[in-house]
Amino acid sequence: MRCIALVTTLLIASGTSLFAEQRASTSSGITHDVFSTPDGAEMTYALSLPTAVGSGATDPLPLILALHPGGARTPYYGSGFMRSIVEPALRSWNAIIIAPDAPTRSWATDESDRAVIALVRQVMTQHAVDPERVLVTGFSLGGRGTWFFATRHADLFTGAIPMAGPVNAGVLDEIGAMPIGRLGAMPIHIVHSRDDERVAFEPAAEAAERLKERGNPVELTALSGIGHFAMGAYISSLKEAGDWMLEQWKNKQEE
Instruction: Name residues whose C-beta falls within 8 Å of residue 2's C-beta, 6 or more positions apart in sequence.
Output: 219, 220, 221, 222
Q: pTM (2 decimals)?
A: 0.88
Instruction: Return the pLDDT at 213.
Output: 86
Which fold is adopted by the domain 2-254?
Rossmann fold (3.40.50)
Q: Would you say 138 and 146 are in contact if contact means Cβ atoms under 8 Å apart?
A: yes
Instruction: Return the pLDDT at 64.
Output: 98
Helix extents (H) in 72-216: 77-81, 87-90, 110-126, 141-152, 169-177, 180-183, 202-214
Cα angle, residue 90 at apex, residues 245 and 131 outer, rounded to 5°: 55
pLDDT, one tens digit for every residue, the chain (255 residues): 444 433 333 333 334 344 443 333 344 489 999 999 999 999 999 999 998 675 566 689 999 999 999 988 899 999 999 999 999 999 999 999 999 999 999 999 999 999 999 999 999 999 999 999 999 999 999 999 999 999 899 999 999 999 999 987 777 777 666 555 556 689 999 999 999 999 999 999 998 998 888 888 999 999 999 999 999 999 999 999 999 999 999 998 887
